[in-house]
Structure 1
Amino acid sequence: MQRDLLLNSSALASLLESKVQNSIQLAELIIDLHNADDVELDEWIIQKGIASSDDLDRIRRSEVRTLVKTESDPSESRSRQLDDDLSTRNLRSQGQEHLHDARTGVGLWGKYVAKPAPASSGYSGEPGSANRYDWIEQFARGGLGAVWRAHDKNLNRTVAVKELLPDSVCSPGIVSRFIDEAVITGQLEHPGIVPIYEFGFKNDGCPYYSMKMLDGDTLATEISNFAKLPARSPERVVRFNSLLTNFVAICNAMAFAHERGVIHRDLKPGNIILGKFGEASIVDWGIAKYFNRAHDEPKEATICLKTGAHRHSRRSTAGANRTRRGDIIGTPSFLSPEQARGSVDLDPRSDIYSLGVILYEIITGQAAFSGEDTTRIIEDVRNGQFDTPRTVNRRVPKALEAICMKAMAHDRENRYESALELGQDVRQFLAGEPVTAYKESLIERGLRYCKKRQSFAVASFASLIAISVVSFVSYLTVSTAHKEEQIARKSAEQARDRAIEAHRREVAAKELAFQNLKQARKAADEWLLESSGDIEFYPGLEKTRHEWLTNAVRHYTECSQEISSDDPVLRAEAAKAIIRLGDAQRLLGNIENAKESYDKAHTLFGDLVADANESPTEMRRDHQLQLANSMIGLGLCLPHTERDDEALNHLTSAQEILQALVRQRPDDDTIVFALARCRVAQARLYHSQDRFDVAMQALRESIRTLTVMRSDNPKRSHEALLASTILDLAHIQIKCRQFHEALQTLEHALETYSRLINKSQHRPDFINGRMTVQILLGNVYCELGDSSNSIACYEEAAKDFHQQMDVMYGGGLHSENLASAQVNLAQLLHRRGDTERARQSALFGHDELVSLVELHGRTADRLRSFAVTLRTIADLSDDVEAKKLYGESLMVYDHLVETHGGDADDVAERAVSRVQQVNCDQSVAPSDRLAVLRESHEELAALGQGDRICSGRTFVQLALADALLEQGEVAAAEATFTAAVEELRARRDLTSRLRLTEILAACPLEKVRDTSRAYHEARSLVADYPRSAECRLVLAYCELQNDVASQAADTLADAVNLQGGHETLASQLCRVLIATKNGELGSIPDVQVTAIETDNTIVREPFLTRCLWHELKSKQSTSDPLN
C-alpha cells in the first residue's frame, strides 16, 4: 500500500476515530490496514465504509489549502520571521537550502530564543483523544516504545500511558504487536493483570494505550532486597512468606489468562509489580499469544535468537504477526525448554515452567540460569542443566524444592497441569499442609504437625516436663547439701573470671565497633563516591549517580552516629564519615548542607586535636590531617556563598597544618596529596579573584608535588588531579596572554591526559580533558598566527569528541568549547580558501550548539556562540543566503541586548552583523548603505575598549571609509582611516598589528598610506609570528610596494606553503600584481583572472583583499594588462 502524501497520518486517524465505536474496533481496523498490502489506500478506505471518494477529495483540498497558507502568509512579526528563517534550514544535510519543518513548524529561534526552555520531564506531543491526558513524565523507555505517567483530565486520576515511538510506527509488525498487546491485555480483566483503560492514536499517528498506574517495585527488586537480609533476621521470615503469598496471586492471575486461551511467554520477576498494599500485577504482555489459535504469534520479542539458517524479513508472506519454527521468543533465563528449542507448539505449561524459575529465584535468592553468554544460557535451558534449590541454599525446605522442581520439569508432561495447581501447592505449604509434589517422612510429618498446632504441642510438652520435674526433685534435695560447699568455694573464682571476661568483652566490642565503622566508611568511599565519579559522564546514568550519592549521604549519616561515643577512636572515624558526607553533599550540589557537615567535622577534629596530647603520634597526625581536610572542604564550599575571604583563611590554615605534617612524614602520600589538593583549591580561588600571579605559583607548586608522587606511586587519582591542575595553569596563562608558556603547559597536559587514557580507555572524562587541551592548543596557535598547527589541533579535538561518543554509546559530552573551536576552525579554513571543509566544520559547530540547547537550555553565552556560528556560515554562503543568515545573527544580538541585558561586546557584534547584512544586499542603494555604516560607527564610537569592541570598531571604520570614498567624501574617509590607525597603534595583539600594517600598506589615500612604515611593521610581524601565513602575505605585498618584487614572490610562496598549499583570493591577487610588476602576467592561470573579473562580492572580503582588488582593477583600467 502506497502512502498518500496529502492524506497524512493525522487525517487518517481522524477518519478512523469518527467511524468506529470503541478502541477494539479501531485496533482491528488498523491491523487490517497494515495487512492490506495489495490494496491502494483510497480503495481500502472506501471498501471499509470509512469515507467516500468525495470525502477523500475534500480532505486533500483542505490539506493543500493548509500548505499554501503556511507558505504564503506574510503577516509575521520580526521574531516570527527569525523563527521561520532558522526553522527552515537543515544545515547538516542541505547546506544552504531552506527546508521547512512541515510537521512541527517550530524553528530554531522558537526553540532556542523566543520560547522558554521546556521542562526535562515535559512532553511536546499532543494525545489523540481530545487532549484527554496531561503527560507528566516518562519513567520507562525502550527501543520501540515509552511509558509515561499521565493525568486523565476526564476522570481526574493518574494513569500510565504506553506509546510507540515515531521511529517504530514505520514497521507494520511492530504496530501490530503493540495493538495485539493492548487488545490481549484489555480482554484479561483480573485483579492480577494491569487493566487497560483506552486505546487510541496521537496526532502524529503513533498508537498508545492507557492503563492503571502501578505504584510499587518489581518482584525482582523485592527478591533482591529479601536476599540482602541477614540470615537470622526476624523480618526475613515475614518477607519470605509475603513473597510466596504474592507468588500464589501471580499463579492465580496466570490461571485466569490460560483459561481464556492466552499465554504470556515472557514471565519474569521484572514483569511483575508488587503494589504498596499487597497487590501483585503482571505487566508487559507484548509477546503474549493465543495458544489455541493458529498463526497468531508476534514476531518480535524481548529477545529473538535464530537457530540454523533461519532468517525472516520485516514482512513475510505469512503475515507480520507470525513466528516461525526455530525462532526463540522470550527472555533467555526464564524460557521453557520448548521455547529455547524454538518450538511454536506452546501451551500454558511453558508459562508454568517460567513460574517455576521465578519460584526458584524467590527461595534461593539467585537465578536458575545466569551468566554473560546468552548462547550458553539457552543451551542450559534446553538441556535442563541447573543446580537444585537445596544445592544452592541448604535452608530451602524440601517441600518447596519439590514444588519448584515439578514446575521446572524438563518434560512438560511432568509439570503441573495448571498454574492454579502450582499456586495451590504453595498455598498448602504456607498453611502447613502437605503438598502434592513431595512425600513427607514420618518425622517431617510430625514436625509439620507440631508447627501447625503449636499450642497443643506446647501443652503436651509442658505436661511431660512437669512429670519429669516431680520425679527429679527428690534427687535434687538429697544432692544439694553436698554441693553447697563446692558452690561457695567456687563463687569467688567465678566472680573474678566474670570481671575479667567483662573487661575483655568491652575492649573487643570497642575494637569491633571501630573496625566495622572503618570498613563501612572505606567501602562507601570506594563504591559510592569513586564509582559515582566513574559514571558521572555517561548519558542515561545521571539518575544512577544521583542515587549513589544519595545513598552515600544516607550511609555516611549512619556512620556518623558514633560521635557521641566516649572512645576517641570511634569519634574520629565518625568525624571522617562526616567529612565524606560533606563531599557527597557537595557533589550533589547541596552546598549549604555540605558546609554544615564540614563545619561539624572541623569542630570535632579540632576537639580531638586539642585532646590528643596523650595519644599516639600516628593518631595525632591523622586527626590533624582530617582537620585540614575539613578546612579544604569549607574552602571549596564558601566561594559558592560569596565568602571568599573566609574560604581563603580556611585554606591557608589547612596549608600550614599540612606543611608541618609533610615535614614530619615527607613520604606519606596521603598527606602530600592533601597538600597538593589544598594548593589547587587556593589557586582556583585566587583565579576567581583575578590574582593570577599567586594562582599560578600555587598551581606550579602542586604540579611539582604531584609529578614527584606520580613517579613514585602512579595512582590514577594522583595523575587525574595532576592533569586538571596543569590545565588550570594553562587557562590562566592564556588569560594573561602568555601564549608561549601556555604552549609548553598544554603539551604537558596533553601528555598526562594521553597517559591516563592509555590506562583507562573507557573514561570519557579523561577523553574530554584531552579534547579540551587540544581546543586550547588550537586557540593558542591561532593567537600566534600558526594556522596549520591550530587546524591540526582543532581536528584532533573533533576526533576525541567522536571517540568519547563511541565510549558513551552515542551520548557524548556536548561542549561549548568544542562548538566554538569548530567555528574557529571553519574561519581558519575559510581564510586559507578551503571552503568545503570550512563549511563542514561550521555545520558541526552549529549542530553541537543545537544539541547543547536541547539538552541544557538556552543561556546568553550559547546564544552568542550561535550568532557567531550563523555569521561564519554566512561568510561561506552566496549573497542571498548570507543576507538571511546575517539577519538572523542580528536578531539574536537584538534579543541578547533587549532581554539578557547584553553587554558592550553584544552591542559591538550587533553593529558588525548589521554592516555585514547591508554589505551583501545588492538591492540597498549606496546612500542607504552609507547611512547604516555611519549609524553603526557612531554606536561603536560610544563604547569603551576591549578586544571585541575594538575589532568590531575597526571593521566598521574600514567599511565606512570605503563607502565614503565611493561617494566622493574623501576628507571624511581620510578622517575615518586616520582614527582607525591611531586606535590600532595603541594595541599590540596580532590582529590589531595586522590591520594597522594593511592600512599603512594598501590604503588608497596617500595621506594615510605609509609603505615604508608598513614594510617595517610587516618584517616585525614575521619575526614575532614566523608561522603566520597572513603576516607573510602582508610582507609580500609590502615588499612589492617597496620595489623588491622578486623577494615578494618568494615570501608569497612561503605564505601559501604555510596555508597548506591553498590559494586565497588575496594571495591570487597579490600573485597577479607581482607578475604584473615583473612583466610575467602570462604565467597566471586563466581561472584566477576569471575569478577576479567576475567577483561581485568584493565588499564582503577582508580589507587587504579589497585593496588588492581595487589596485588591480585600477591597473587594468589604465593599462589594460589583462585583455
Structure 2
Amino acid sequence: MLFMICTGRSPHPGKTTLEVLNSIVNSEVPSPRSLLASVPKPLDAICQKALAKKKEDRYESALRLQEDLKRWLADEPVSVYRETWWEGCGRWFRRHRAAAVSSIAVLAGVAVVSIMAAFLINQARIDKANALTALKDANQKEQEARTIAEQRRKQALDAISRWQVDLADVMRHHPRIQALREGLLEQAADEYDQLAPELKSQPEVHLERVRIYLRLGDVRRRLDKPKEARTAYERAEQELEELISDAEDKDNLLLQLAKCLAAKSDTWQVVGEMQTAESEFRRALTTLEKVENQSAKSVNYVETKTGIQQQLAELLITLRRFDEAKEILNAALMFAEQDPNTRSQRSIVQLRAIVHNALARVELAMSQYSNAESHLDKAISLWSGLVNAYREDPIGLEGRTNALVLRANVYRQLGKSGQELKDDQVALSDYQALHDALPDIPRYRYQIVVGQINLAQIFHRHGKNEEAYNHAGQALESIKNLVKAFPDSPVYYATEATARATLGHILRELQEWDIATAAFESASEIRSQLAEKYPDQPAY
C-alpha cells in the first residue's frame, strides 16, 4: 500500500494472480525513487526495507515500520536512512525556523564584520607601502604617511574590538553557535598579532589583546577544551605581566592577572592535575595581596577575591580537605557580606549563593545535614532572586538547579524522600531547559545525566525499578557519548562508573543477574583505572 501511495503503481505488476506471484518470487522490487524521482529518500528507504525479499532484511514488526513512518511524518530522522549533513540542517531549519533565521542573521553580521576588518587592514597595509615610497621624496611626507598608516591600524584594531569581540560577547547565550564564537575570537587574536607589533608601545593594544585571550579561554572552557583554554590564558598572562612591569597604576592589571591565573587553574583541575591547580589558585590570591587598600574596597576586588577563594575551596573539597575548605569558604562569605554597598551587587549576590552551595557540600560531606540544609535554603533564595531579576541570563537558573540537586541529597540523608524526589524532578526539568536553550554547552548535558542517575536511585529505593531502569539507561547512554567526545575528563569517566553501578543494582532487583554482574564489573574496572591514573585524588 505504501509503495502504491508513493508511486501510483503496485510493487509487483501482473494481470493475473500467477503473474503477480511470479513477480514476487523472481523479480526485485524497484525502489520508489527509480520510478518517481520526487519520492523523498527516507520514504524510499522505508519502502525498500518493508518490501525486502529476505525476512531478516525486513522490519522486525509492523510496530517498527509504524514508528519510522511516524518519525518521517514528524520530520524526524528514520532508522533505515542515514541523512546527509545538509539534509539534517534542512530538517532542523524547518523545525526551528525562528532560531535558524536568527543564526543566519548572526552569520550575516559576522560576514559584514570580516569584510569591514579586511578592508581596513588592507587599507592600512596600502598606506604603509605608500609611506615607504614617500620616504624618497621628503621626510615630512614620510611622517605624514606613517601617521595616516598608524591611524588606519588603530581603526582596524578598533573595528576588530567593537565588532568581532563584542559580537562574540553578544553571542555567549545564543544556541548552537559557541564554536562560531570561538572562531570569531581566534580570528580577532590572529589579526591583533598581525597589526599590533608596530603599536606595541601603546598600552591599550596590550589591554585589548588581554581581553580577547581571556574571552577565548572562557569560550574554550565552556566547550570542554582545557588544553586550548590554558594556551589562551597563558597568552593573556604574558601580556598582563609585561603591562604590570611598566605601569604606574597596577591595581586593575593585578585584578585581571589574578582572574587569569584562577581561570588557568581550573583548566588544570578538570584534567586531574590537582597540585598544579592548587598552586595556581594560591598564586592568584598572592597577586591580590599586592592591590592597594583603596582598590581593595571596589566591587571588582570583592568579586575577584571571593570567587578565587570559592574556587580554591571547591578544589580542597575534591581532595577531601574539608576543614581547610570550610575555613576558606566562611572567610569568603564574611568578606563578600561585610560591605552593605557591595553585598547587593548582582555579581556579589551570585558569589554569595555559590559560596553557600559550596559550604553545603562541605557540611554534607561532614554529615552535618541540618547545617547543609540551612546553607542551601539561603542559596536557593539568592538564586531565585537572580532568576527573577535577570531572566535572560542562564547563570542564575543553573546555580539554583545545582542547589536543588544538593538539597535533594541532603533530604535523602534526612529521610525526607518526598522532598528529595520533588527537588530532583525540578532540577532535571531546569537542566533540560538549559540544555534546550544552549545545546552546545557540554556541562548542561552532563547535569542532565546526574539528574537522571539521582532519579534512578530514588525510584530504586522505593521499589519502582522499571522507572529506575529507564532513567539509569538514559543516563548511561548520554554519559558514554560525553566520554567519547571528551576523553580527557576524569569526571565523565567517574560518572559513567556511577551510572553503570546504579544500573547494576536495578538489574539485580529485576533478577537480570548476568547483565547486573557485567554492569558492576565494568563500573569497577573504570574506577580502578581512575585510581591508578589519579592516585592523589581520594574521590577516585
Question: What is the TM-score with the length of structure 2 in the denominator?
Answer: 0.65
Aligned to 1:657: 287
1:822 is displaced (CA, Å) by 0.9
1:636 aligned to which of 249, 266, 269: 266
What pairs with 1:877-956 in structure 2 (closer than 5 Å)? 882-883=510-511, 885-897=512-524, 900=526
Could you tell me how far apart the structure 2 residues matched to 1:678 and 1:101 are?
Answer: 56
1:735 is displaced (CA, Å) by 2.6
Could you tell me how far apart the structure 2 residues matched to 1:716 and 1:680 are?
Answer: 17
Q: Deviations over 1:661-713 (max 9, x none)?
A: 26222442222222222223322333343322222333333334445689747
Q: Deviations over 1:965-1012 (max 9, x none)?
A: xxxxxxxxxxxxxxxxxxxxxxxxxxxxxxxxxxxxxxxxxxxxxxxx
1:659 is displaced (CA, Å) by 3.8
Q: Against the structure 1 CA distance between its residues 525 and 230, is the aligned structure 2 distance closer, same or farther, given a 3 Å change threshold?
A: closer
1:549 is displaced (CA, Å) by 1.3
Q: Does residue 566 of the first structure (1) align with residue 206 of the second (2)?
A: no
SS at 2:85's partner residue?
A: strand
Q: Deviations over 1:20-65 (max 9, x none)?
A: xxxxxxxxxx6x65365xx9x68x6435999622554799xx9999
1:823 is displaced (CA, Å) by 1.7
1:755 aligned to which of 385, 406, 428: 385
Q: Deviations over 1:202-257 (max 9, x none)?
A: xxxxxxxxxxxxxxxx9x97998469745995999xxxxxxxxxxxxxxxxxxxxx
1:780 is displaced (CA, Å) by 1.3
Q: Which one has a larger percent helix, Structure 1 or Structure 2? A: 2
Aligned to 1:819: 452
Aligned to 2:21: 53
Q: Deviations over 1:174-216 (max 9, x none)?
A: xxxxxxxxxxxxxxxxxxxxxxxxxxxxxxxxxxxxxxxxxxx
Could you tell me how far apart the structure 1 residues matched to 2:227 and 2:92 are?
Answer: 40
Q: Against the structure 1 CA distance between its residues 549 and 707, is the aligned structure 2 distance closer, same or farther, given a 3 Å change threshold?
A: farther
Aligned to 2:48: none
Question: Is this contact kept in 2: 1:557–1:581, CA < 8 A?
Answer: no
Amino acid at match of 2:21: S
Could you tell me how far apart the structure 2 residues matched to 1:554 and 1:48 are?
Answer: 70
Q: Against the structure 1 CA distance between its residues 552 and 704, is the aligned structure 2 distance closer, same or farther, given a 3 Å change threshold?
A: farther
SS at 1:757's partner residue?
A: helix
Q: Does residue 678 of the first structure (1) align with residue 308 of the second (2)?
A: yes
Aligned to 1:872: 506
Amino acid at match of 1:552: L
What pairs with 1:593-672 in structure 2 (closer than 5 Å)? 593-612=228-247, 615=248, 619-639=249-269, 644-661=274-291, 663-672=293-302
SS at 1:737's partner residue?
A: coil
Question: Is this contact kept in 2: 1:655–1:678, CA < 8 A?
Answer: yes
SS at 2:293's partner residue?
A: helix
Aligned to 1:697: 327
Q: Against the structure 1 CA distance between its residues 800 and 828, is the aligned structure 2 distance closer, same or farther, given a 3 Å change threshold?
A: farther
Question: Is this contact kept in 2: 1:683–1:696, CA < 8 A?
Answer: yes
Question: Is this contact kept in 1: 2:475–2:499, CA < 8 A?
Answer: no
| Higher-RCO chain (CA-CA 8 Å, sequence separation at least 6) | 2
Amino acid at match of 1:788: G
1:778 is displaced (CA, Å) by 1.8
Q: Against the structure 1 CA distance between its residues 841 and 772, is the aligned structure 2 distance closer, same or farther, given a 3 Å change threshold?
A: farther
Q: Against the structure 1 CA distance between its residues 35 and 872, is the aligned structure 2 distance closer, same or farther, given a 3 Å change threshold?
A: same
Could you tell me how far apart the structure 1 residues matched to 2:110 and 2:267 are?
Answer: 38
Q: Against the structure 1 CA distance between its residues 711 and 850, is the aligned structure 2 distance closer, same or farther, given a 3 Å change threshold?
A: farther
SS at 2:411's partner residue?
A: helix
Question: Is this contact kept in 1: 2:165–2:188, CA < 8 A?
Answer: no
Query: Which runs of 5 or more residues in structure 1 are unaligned?
Result: 4-29, 72-98, 104-122, 128-134, 147-163, 166-217, 237-497, 876-881, 906-945, 948-1123
Could you tell me how far apart the structure 2 residues matched to 1:851 and 1:680 are?
Answer: 30
Could you tell me how far apart the structure 2 residues matched to 1:690 and 1:734 are?
Answer: 12
SS at 2:418's partner residue?
A: helix
Aligned to 1:1033: none
Amino acid at match of 2:171: S
1:585 is displaced (CA, Å) by 4.7
1:845 is displaced (CA, Å) by 4.4
Query: Which runs of 5 or more residues in structure 2 are unaligned?
Result: 28-50, 66-76, 96-103, 123-139, 485-491, 532-537
1:714 is displaced (CA, Å) by 5.4
- Of the two, which has the highest radius of gyration? 1
SS at 1:663's partner residue?
A: coil
Amino acid at match of 2:449: E
Q: Against the structure 1 CA distance between its residues 142 and 607, is the aligned structure 2 distance closer, same or farther, given a 3 Å change threshold?
A: closer
Aligned to 1:34: 6
Amino acid at match of 1:562: A
Could you tell me how far apart the structure 1 residues matched to 2:462 and 2:6 are?
Answer: 51
1:548 aligned to which of 181, 191, 205: 181
Q: Against the structure 1 CA distance between its residues 576 and 765, is the aligned structure 2 distance closer, same or farther, given a 3 Å change threshold?
A: closer
Could you tell me how far apart the structure 2 residues matched to 1:557 and 1:668 are?
Answer: 34
What pairs with 1:5-16 in structure 2 (closer than 5 Å)? none
Could you tell me how far apart the structure 1 residues matched to 2:166 and 2:112 are?
Answer: 25
Could you tell me how far apart the structure 2 residues matched to 1:731 and 1:520 are?
Answer: 43
1:578 is displaced (CA, Å) by 4.2
Q: Against the structure 1 CA distance between its residues 704 and 516, is the aligned structure 2 distance closer, same or farther, given a 3 Å change threshold?
A: farther
Q: Deviations over 1:267-314 (max 9, x none)?
A: xxxxxxxxxxxxxxxxxxxxxxxxxxxxxxxxxxxxxxxxxxxxxxxx
Q: Against the structure 1 CA distance between its residues 889 and 528, is the aligned structure 2 distance closer, same or farther, given a 3 Å change threshold?
A: same
Q: Percent identity?
A: 15
Could you tell me how far apart the structure 2 residues matched to 1:904 and 1:629 are?
Answer: 30
Amino acid at match of 1:868: T
Amino acid at match of 1:549: E
Question: Is this contact kept in 2: 1:819–1:844, CA < 8 A?
Answer: yes
Q: Against the structure 1 CA distance between its residues 855 and 710, is the aligned structure 2 distance closer, same or farther, given a 3 Å change threshold?
A: farther
Could you tell me how far apart the structure 1 residues matched to 2:158 and 2:475 are?
Answer: 46
Amino acid at match of 1:890: T
1:890 is displaced (CA, Å) by 1.9
User: How many residues align structurally?
Assistant: 460
Q: Does residue 528 of the first structure (1) align with residue 165 of the second (2)?
A: no
What pairs with 1:643-1042 in structure 2 (closer than 5 Å)? 644-661=274-291, 663-707=293-337, 712=342, 716-761=346-391, 763=393, 766-801=396-431, 803-804=433-434, 813=445, 815-830=448-463, 839-840=466-467, 843-853=470-480, 861-862=495-496, 864-869=498-503, 871-872=505-506, 875=509, 882-883=510-511, 885-897=512-524, 900=526
Q: Against the structure 1 CA distance between its residues 718 and 710, is the aligned structure 2 distance closer, same or farther, given a 3 Å change threshold?
A: farther
**Which segment is superposed worse, 583-592 or 816-825?**
583-592
Amino acid at match of 2:261: M
Could you tell me how far apart the structure 1 residues matched to 2:303 and 2:470 are?
Answer: 44
Q: Against the structure 1 CA distance between its residues 892 and 826, is the aligned structure 2 distance closer, same or farther, given a 3 Å change threshold?
A: same
Q: Which one has a larger percent strand, Structure 1 or Structure 2? A: 1
Amino acid at match of 1:527: L
Question: Is this contact kept in 2: 1:528–1:552, CA < 8 A?
Answer: yes
Could you tell me how far apart the structure 1 residues matched to 2:378 and 2:6 are?
Answer: 62
Question: Is this contact kept in 2: 1:595–1:634, CA < 8 A?
Answer: yes
Question: Is this contact kept in 1: 2:14–2:23, CA < 8 A?
Answer: no
1:546 is displaced (CA, Å) by 1.1
Amino acid at match of 2:14: I
2:88 aligned to which of 102, 117, 141: 141
**Which segment is superposed worse, 733-742 or 511-520?**
511-520
Could you tell me how far apart the structure 2 residues matched to 1:874 and 1:646 are?
Answer: 42
Question: Is this contact kept in 2: 1:513–1:570, CA < 8 A?
Answer: no
Could you tell me how far apart the structure 2 residues matched to 1:721 and 1:558 are?
Answer: 35
1:584 is displaced (CA, Å) by 4.4
Q: Against the structure 1 CA distance between its residues 126 and 222, is the aligned structure 2 distance closer, same or farther, given a 3 Å change threshold?
A: same
1:901 is displaced (CA, Å) by 6.7
Question: Is this contact kept in 2: 1:676–1:706, CA < 8 A?
Answer: yes
Question: Is this contact kept in 1: 2:117–2:156, CA < 8 A?
Answer: no
Q: Against the structure 1 CA distance between its residues 719 and 598, is the aligned structure 2 distance closer, same or farther, given a 3 Å change threshold?
A: same
1:551 is displaced (CA, Å) by 1.3
Could you tell me how far apart the structure 1 residues matched to 2:270 and 2:476 are?
Answer: 27
